[in-house]
Structure 1
């Protein structure tokens, strides 16, 4: 006879910590994406929608990273928010690298698939260097820290 094991299935359930973490990091992603756009080359297609893409990455990452464990202390919450903000930056740069790689692939600039995939990272790193601006980094740091603190507050007070 087979034994039935029930697991705790609350890991995906919406909580106020997840909601506040996702909303805060979505706002952070939007602001950071809007700050990056003027720094990118004018010929960069896909940069116009970068704030929306970064906000969607922020919502997903805030929900999964910050909301999963908002922390027990304010220090842990701030560190979790900063970690999540760095994930948003990484995924936004991967997105920009992917867009550039697809543009160049349509012009037959690559000889192999491996060369195209490696160029995604190369393009993303070039955009990360362009994005190393105090306004962008400041908005990510402050927004990530505030997102973590707000998620902790929502987790504690609005259970």
Structure 2
């Protein structure tokens, strides 16, 4: 059921996903993220804001911190999944895999290898601090417009 908290969560987390994608862009090779990274980050943010954080709004600001931290972890995992999937597609177009199972298993190896590139304190602060801030605003909207 659409609520004001879900709408606010979707908008805030979508904007936060856009900001975080722009902040992470210099950490890619040659400063160029995959083409799908920016739209995927916005869609992931919209989804997390609507389905996860917006649904949990109205339970208090302590619960909003937990929802924000969880959304930050989920955003980080799904962003790495998008990066690894796009690299797997590129590798499969160059015939690097013997079959489908090799390509799928390589996604997780690529996620691990790509995660070492994004170990910057500013990214972590933006990831979790921004998620908690967006969750607090979503909680405020959820309490104000029940």
Return the TM-score normalized by structure 2.
0.92
Offset, 1:51: 2.7
CA contact (8 A) 1:21 1:63 kept: yes
| Alignment coverage as a number of residue pairs | 146
RMSD: 1.7
**Larger Cα-atom Rg:** 1
Offset, 1:52: 2.8
Alignment of 1:10-159 (within 5 A): 13-42=1-30, 46=34, 48-159=35-146
Q: Which segments of 5 or more consecutive residues in structure 1 lack a partner in the other structure?
A: 1-12
Mapped to 2, the partners of 1:111 and 1:50 lie a distance apart of 27
Return the TM-score normalized by structure 1.
0.85
Offset, 1:103: 0.4
- Whichever structure has more helix as a proportion of its residues is 2
Change beyond 3 A, Cα 1:69–1:104? same
